Amino acid sequence: MKPKPRIKVYPKTIIATANDCLKECYFDFDIHEKTNIRTPLGEIVIIEAVTEGLALVAGPSTIKEMKLLISKIGKYNVNKILIDGALFRKSIASFNIADAAILSTGASYNKSIHKVVDDTLLLLEELILDKVSNKIINTLKNETKSLIMDDDLNKTIIDLDTVLDNETTVKKYLDNSSRYLYLDGALSNKLVQVIIDHRFELKDFTIIVKDATHIVVDASYFKKLKFTNTKIKVINKINMLFLTYNPHSSLGYDFNNSQFRSLLQEKINLPIINVLEDLE
């Protein structure tokens, strides 16, 4: 497992991190507040950098705790709040937490430059899905259950407290008239498999989720769904600002920068920034 990278901070920067990480913060700081938000690395504390240095940051694991922490940081009159998160915690890019998102990729992900580029593209496709029409958004307003809709947007409520772990039950609600599946929760591998198994009877079918962070499927299942006539759309679109990349791997190898940038630019319609050179 690769070590967690440090983040460079400057005087007057406000940082929220777990108490056990403070011994790995190599700068002088003042502690402003203990938040009572608990993590495996201790309570989250809010500090202010007095000198320049490197910080080790670890935050809360739930959306509720992250929203609470953001509200606490906001009391310190900050200009911007930057949330650091790993791929397996993409929920922090949710529309009700972050105003926008930045995706980072790099050579450390895999030794194959083509796999890095292909998987980055696939993840971006998942994160910046198209938004459904305003008519459908208005139709689904205030709905608290997953449901099926036909062409005329007539609804059939799925009588389950949650679709998760009940994916096979959903198939009894699907027929040739089904055009939309709205999920109040997450889209899972099992549910994708149900859709794939019924792909020949589902014509022009669309799965609707609240936002892309509600998609918890493996890349292989996302690829399979692309080859059916099923689309995935969102009610709230993530505002993806740009893509950053690092051609250097901490494992001791490098990608050719020009080739890496060119391959990314060929397939990705976003500003692309080399974190080692473009930000100097």
Same domain, 258 and 210: no
Residue 280 lies in a domain: no
Residue 161 lies in a domain: yes
Same domain, 115 and 243: yes
Same domain, 174 and 259: no
pTM value is: 0.82
Give the integer Cα–Cα distance in Å for 276 and 266.
21
Give the integer Cα–Cα distance in Å for 50 and 61.
27
Same domain, 11 and 122: yes
Beta strands at 14-18 and 180-182: parallel, antiparallel or unpaired: unpaired
Same domain, 203 and 266: no
Which residues constitute the domain of residue 145? 131-234
Residue 267 lies in a domain: yes
Same domain, 93 and 16: yes
Residue 112 lies in a domain: yes
Same domain, 140 and 110: no
One digit per residue, the tens of pLDDT, for the chain of length 280 reads 566 778 999 999 999 999 999 999 999 999 999 999 999 999 999 999 999 999 999 988 888 899 999 999 999 999 999 988 765 555 555 667 888 999 999 999 999 999 999 999 998 998 999 999 999 999 999 999 999 999 999 999 998 888 888 888 998 999 999 999 999 999 999 999 999 998 888 989 999 999 998 898 998 899 899 888 899 999 999 999 999 999 999 889 999 999 999 999 998 999 999 998 876 5
| Burial (0-12, 13-18, 19+ Cβ within 10 Å), 215 | buried
Give the integer Cα–Cα distance in Å for 200 and 155.
22
Same domain, 120 and 245: yes
Beta strands at 230-234 and 205-209: parallel, antiparallel or unpaired: parallel
Residue 2 lies in a domain: no
Q: Where are the alpha helices (DSSP H) in the chain?
A: 63-73, 113-127, 134-140, 167-170, 189-197, 219-226, 257-267
Same domain, 152 and 223: yes
Residue 45 lies in a domain: yes
10 Å Cβ neighbour count for 25? 20
Q: How many domains does the chain have?
A: 2
Residue 225 lies in a domain: yes
Two structure tokens written together for 191: 């549910």
Same domain, 64 and 155: no
Same domain, 122 and 152: no
Same domain, 151 and 93: no
Residue 80 lies in a domain: yes
